[in-house]
């Protein structure tokens, strides 16, 4: 009975993880700000994740192709976006954001 339940759980979770690409990394200079990492692939695919208190994030994007990665800090978005390639494999993007003249900028480190 335990084997049947375990097999059922694996079969039901397999399709999602086989399609979705994992994006993870660290946001430097995050401090204690309210930061969201936003991945926008097209008009229909947009995912976001709130960065934890250590600056880490991990998300699954159900899309394969080129997407845009941006940050939203305290409700204000970064002025620039980074093009990323999302696939079926895990991808690490370590980011750093900085503030100049009340505007937030994003770069990959």
Looking at the domain that runs over 2-108, which CATH code has it been given?
2.60.40.10
The region of weakest confidence among 41-45, 56-60, 69-73 is 41-45
pTM for the whole thing?
0.72
Count the helices and strands in the chain (H runs, E runs).
1, 10
pLDDT tens digits along 6-53: 666 655 665 544 567 889 999 887 566 788 899 998 877 788 898 988
CA 2 to chain centre: 34
């Amino acid at each position: 009975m335990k084997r049947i339940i375990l097999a059922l759980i694996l079969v039901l979770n397999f399709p999602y993880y086989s399609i979705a690409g994992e994006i993870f990394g660290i946001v430097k200079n995050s401090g204690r700000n309210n930061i969201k990492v936003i991945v926008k692939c097209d008009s229909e695919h947009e995912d976001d994740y709130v960065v934890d208190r250590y600056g880490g994030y991990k998300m699954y994007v159900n899309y394969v192709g080129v997407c845009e990665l941006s940050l939203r800090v305290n409700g204000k978005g970064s002025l620039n976006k980074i093009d990323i390639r999302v696939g079926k494999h895990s991808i690490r993007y370590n980011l750093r954001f900085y503030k100049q003249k009340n505007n937030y900028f994003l770069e990959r480190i």
